[in-house]
Structure 1
Amino acid sequence: MKLHCPRLRAVTQLAFRTLFSLIFLAAGAKHLLAPDAIVGRLVEAPGAALVSALASPKLLVVLSGAVLLLGGLALLTGTLTRWAAVALFAVLVPITLTVQVGAAEGMGPLFKNVALLGGLLHWAVEGGGAFSVDAWLSTHPRLRLPLVGAVGVLTVALALPALAARPPAPGASARRGADATERVLFLVQQPPQLKAALATGQQSLAGRGFPAREVEVLVCGPAITSLLAGDVMEARLAEAKQAGIRVVACGLTLTEKGIAPDKLSPSVEVVENGLVEALQRQAEGFRSVEL
């Protein structure tokens, strides 16, 4: 039986558009509020080399975050819906190709993005529907141009903090790493996060992304098993230590897991209490990033 009810169709469009926008709002907010965590994932992505060749990973993360957030707001309100869908589509395609294709997480995130691309195509063609700002603007066409200008100004305002974080000039990486005053502590709890923290730390010490003169990685929780001698991460731990990263294991977690300290990689140090260690480092002026 085929239902033909314009009002029902308008209501379902509103529900679909509202619920669909939430994933872009959440992703955009995370890109802007916690860019370092996203950068850590980006530098470990299958297409990381291509991303780094284009621009600073942090710049790309913040710019894409601005588009995701504004695009999500536009979908939520039905404002310039078709243009918002096209902009989100343009951002989502490179993210999918560089981060999701061939990712260790499997096919789930890839097909999630494929589904989102299908939804964006729908809104690019369909428009905002009856219950939308677009529908209201159709009766107030003179306000459309000022609204487009306001969206452009807002996009620039969100992106301005990232515009200063340009890639270093050729030959400047070593100098920036030596002159950096920041000290960074990564708090790692899950095994996949350790790899990202080590890679980001090495980049920081080399003066790329967020330059730092000192980097420590504090490991607690399930990630502690990645520090065992003979684990697949042992070579990475040795490489990180050689680069100047101090990797520390929480003694309380070792006791809880029944792991003897001598079972850990020789590249790892042990502290009695990871929480106390983190507090001490923060008191000493370290910037802490919890993954």
Structure 2
Amino acid sequence: MMHLDRAAPILGRLMLAALFLMAGFGKIGAPAATKAYIASAGLPLPDLAYLLAVIAELGGGLLLLLGLQTRLVALALTGFTLATALFFHADFADQNQMIHLLKNFAISGGLLHVAVLGGGAVSLDAWLRRTAETVKPSFVG
């Protein structure tokens, strides 16, 4: 049975990754609506913004799930999530938008923890680190 210190990082990564993966697939399923939403926020180049969002959500979500380059990916997704909060949920008079803003802040807080603590023992980062430690070059002298 896994201990909490082994299980919590993978479960946390799984929960965070699910959010990004589902959002990315949702954008692929409705590109016109997504681009219109981006344009309605006043952002320039909605086609480019759409592409970058899909790459961030699907690529970042997958890397986060696998625990590969976890710290860097978590930092990048933190920036993406905070930018999304500020561009799309900054209508402080609208309670629904305030909830979305605070949700994005909470997600960013979780991602910052991942950025500091890494992917944990059950991650590709840890596996690669263990593999590199066992394969030390030997010199014949």
TM over 0.5: yes
Residue segments in structure 2 that go unaligned for 5+ positions in a row: 134-141
Residue 121 of structure 1 corresponds to 112
Q: In proportion to residue count, which structure has more helix?
A: 2
Alignment of 1:71 onto 2:55? no
Alpha-carbon deviation of 1:75?
1.3
Residue 273 of structure 1 corresponds to none
Alignment of 1:95 onto 2:95? no
Residue 39 of structure 1 corresponds to 35
Describe the shift of the 1:106–1:90 C-alpha distance in structure 2 as closer, same or farther (beyond 3 A): closer
Residue 61 of structure 1 corresponds to 50
Describe the shift of the 1:141–1:67 C-alpha distance in structure 2 as closer, same or farther (beyond 3 A): farther
Question: Which deviations, in whole Å up to 9, do the C-alpha atoms of 1:44-68 show, x marking residues without a partner?
Answer: 23xx1xx22xxx1121111121111
TM-score, with length taken from structure 2:
0.83
Question: Equivalences for 1:177-256 in 2 at 5 Å?
Answer: none
Find 1:83's aligned residue among 52, 72, 77: 72
Return the letter of the residue paired with 2:20: F
Structure 1 counterpart SS, 2:65: helix
Alpha-carbon deviation of 1:37?
1.1
| C-alpha separation in 2, matches of 1:71 and 1:88 | 7
Q: Percent identity?
A: 36
CA contact (8 A) 2:24 2:58 kept: yes
Residue 251 of structure 1 corresponds to none
Residue 137 of structure 2 corresponds to none
Alignment of 1:28 onto 2:24? yes
Residue segments in structure 1 that go unaligned for 5+ positions in a row: 1-5, 143-291
Instruction: Identify which of structures 1 and 2 has the higher relative contact order when contacts are C-alpha pairs closer than 8 Å and 6+ apart.
Output: 2
CA contact (8 A) 2:25 2:58 kept: yes
Q: In proportion to residue count, which structure has more strand?
A: 1
Question: Which deviations, in whole Å up to 9, do the C-alpha atoms of 1:231-282 show, x marking residues without a partner?
Answer: xxxxxxxxxxxxxxxxxxxxxxxxxxxxxxxxxxxxxxxxxxxxxxxxxxxx
Aligned residues: 130
CA contact (8 A) 2:17 2:62 kept: yes
RMSD, aligned α-carbons? 1.9
Return the letter of the residue paired with 1:92: T
